[in-house]
Structure 1
Amino acid sequence: MNTIDEVIRKLDLIIQDAETHNDPAGYFAALYQKVTIKVKEGIANGYFDDGPRMEQLDVLFAQRYLDAWKAYKLCDQMSGSWKKAFEQSPRYWPIVLQHLLVGMNAHINYDLGIVAAEISKGKEMEDLREDFNRINSILSELVHEVQDNLSSVWPMLKYLLKLTGKVDDYLVDFSMKLARDGAWKFAGEYFRVEESGKAAFLLQRDQRISEIVKVVTKPGLIAALILAIVRFTERGSVRDKIQKLKFTPL
């Protein structure tokens, strides 16, 4: 792939496959396509300091997700963080937002830092910082938008999240905080690692990010009970839910 338009078309195929097979892994693909379309619009509107660089980053970033999806479908090897995310797909209990957050965990807290370091080779990495943060801001805004969309379909979700602010923070803010505080730091560290040490460095990071999945899937007894209630109130098939998450042109 060389362009964002190609990324959007590839994500369309993944979404279609997930809808056909009622695969919850399609929730993240639908959100990710929204993010990609927002990044495309941002480039066109001059939102980023360096539009061409951001398109390159977007394509390389997406390729890591597409490679993970392909490995998932073929039961092939992938990073531990993506493996943990895809392992949630056949399970009944995760609510839609949990599926989204385990995908975000792998893609932001692991993939994004790697790609940021790779496209900065031979350059000053600090030049990328502002645009890096802008991508995270786009994703954060969309997660809140998705929560509002799902709450309109499952009113119990909105009620419970208002009732329990801590659960709301857990669902929405944990990954964003890690993205802001940790992903950039990881990118800089990886950028400075000698080539001979990169594989070991990435393995260590992958193991650490894989462990974060437990924060999402096993949040403690009270939160788990609340999420179970939300799960019971979710209506519609996986396909129906993916349809609610998909980008809708104005």
Structure 2
Amino acid sequence: MAQTRRLTAATGPDRLSIDAVVERMQAFRSLWPARDGVAVFNRVYLTVTQEIGRCADAGGFIDRRAAVTLDVRFAERYLAAVDTVASGGRPPACWRPLFRCRSHPGVRPLQFALAGINAHIGHDLALAVVDTCRTLGCEPVDLEAPFRQVGDILALLEERIREELMPGPDLLEAADPLTHLLGCWSLDRARDGAWLAGRSLWRLGRMPELAEEFTERLDHSVGLVGRMLLTPLTRCG
């Protein structure tokens, strides 16, 4: 097995980048109503991003520079989608279901959160691996350990969702459609798929047309899952 090359550690600028991401996410809270579907996802993602910043400050990453760069490149994909919508443009297909349904009264908060996580991890994380390799001048193999560590913190998304958004046991019955919805999507599988997709995209770098087609198909397939996750489960009116 090839030995993984350790990337050079860095300090101040990386932390400032995380701070800038956190500041933008915090600003969104004053722009969107609490029940807004994108706001629901933003609250959960903000908590996890802050935790990654704390972990970086405490020296908890094997390779701090790689982990922080990956986190920032990852977050920039979400922020770019928000900016695109705010300027009247069309975001990537993976994000469109969430932005289109963000005010739908028949969609539960848990569904909004899952749809955002699906778009961000299923599509954006793979592209963030490629972005990070280009930024640091490394190969995906050099990012495997930081990717796993950041992924473990991202798993807090699921924990946070269950704490804040899951209905009580009296509401979440076996026959509830939400119960079945929860069983149809897995953060772990999405994360593993993102790692494979990111490595594949990197290999396709010398074949730009094929890489573009791969990226487009990934975008639309993740968007399809997002549409299913946002199927209204509550009757309106």
Change beyond 3 A, Cα 1:18–1:88: same
Residue aligned with 1:185, SS: helix
Whether 1:33 aligns to 2:50 is no
What 5-or-longer segments of structure 2 have no aligned partner? 1-12
For the 8 Å contact 1:104–1:175, the answer to whether it is kept is no
Residue aligned with 1:120, SS: helix
1:30-87 C-alpha deviation (Å, 9 max, x unpaired)? 1111010011112122332111222222222111111101112222022111112211
Shift of 1:142: 3.1
Change beyond 3 A, Cα 1:168–1:59: same
Matched with 1:196 is 208
Aligned amino acid, residue 19 of structure 1: P
Whether 1:46 aligns to 2:59 is yes
For the 8 Å contact 1:14–1:26, the answer to whether it is kept is yes
1:19 to 28, 33, 40: 33
Matched with 2:131 is 118
2:120 to 95, 107, 126: 107
Matched with 1:93 is 106
Q: Which moved more, 1:45-54 or 1:6-15?
A: 45-54
Residue aligned with 2:36, SS: coil
Matched with 2:3 is none
1:185 to 196, 201, 206: 196
Residue aligned with 1:46, SS: coil
Q: Tell me, in whole angstroms, the C-alpha distance in 2 between the residues paired with 1:150 and 1:199.
A: 36
Q: Tell me, in whole angstroms, the C-alpha distance in 2 between the residues paired with 1:205 and 1:150.
A: 28
Which structure shows the higher helix fraction?
A: 1
Residue aligned with 1:178, SS: helix
For the 8 Å contact 1:65–1:107, the answer to whether it is kept is yes
Shift of 1:170: 3.7
Q: Which moved more, 1:30-39 or 1:136-145?
A: 136-145
TM-score by length of 2: 0.81
Q: Tell me, in whole angstroms, the C-alpha distance in 2 between the residues paired with 1:192 and 1:207.
A: 21
Q: Tell me, in whole angstroms, the C-alpha distance in 1 between the residues paired with 2:33 and 2:109.
A: 14
Matched with 1:238 is none
Shift of 1:88: 1.5
1:167-215 C-alpha deviation (Å, 9 max, x unpaired)? 5474277140332331111001111112522322211111111111243
Whether 1:139 aligns to 2:145 is no
TM-score by length of 1: 0.77
Shift of 1:106: 1.0
Q: Tell me, in whole angstroms, the C-alpha distance in 2 between the residues paired with 1:75 and 1:6.
A: 23
1:134-161 C-alpha deviation (Å, 9 max, x unpaired)? 323222233223322334xx53xx3343
Q: Which moved more, 1:177-186 or 1:80-89?
A: 177-186
Matched with 1:243 is none
Give the number of equivalent residue pairs: 219
For the 8 Å contact 1:82–1:106, the answer to whether it is kept is yes
Q: Which moved more, 1:116-125 or 1:56-65?
A: 116-125
For the 8 Å contact 2:71–2:150, the answer to whether it is kept is no
For the 8 Å contact 2:158–2:187, the answer to whether it is kept is no
Change beyond 3 A, Cα 1:172–1:145: farther
For the 8 Å contact 2:45–2:157, the answer to whether it is kept is no
Shift of 1:164: 5.8
Identity %: 25
Q: Tell me, in whole angstroms, the C-alpha distance in 1 between the residues paired with 2:165 and 2:93.
A: 29
For the 8 Å contact 1:133–1:180, the answer to whether it is kept is no
For the 8 Å contact 2:114–2:229, the answer to whether it is kept is yes
What 5-or-longer segments of structure 1 have no aligned partner? 219-223, 233-250
1:159 to 150, 167, 170: 170
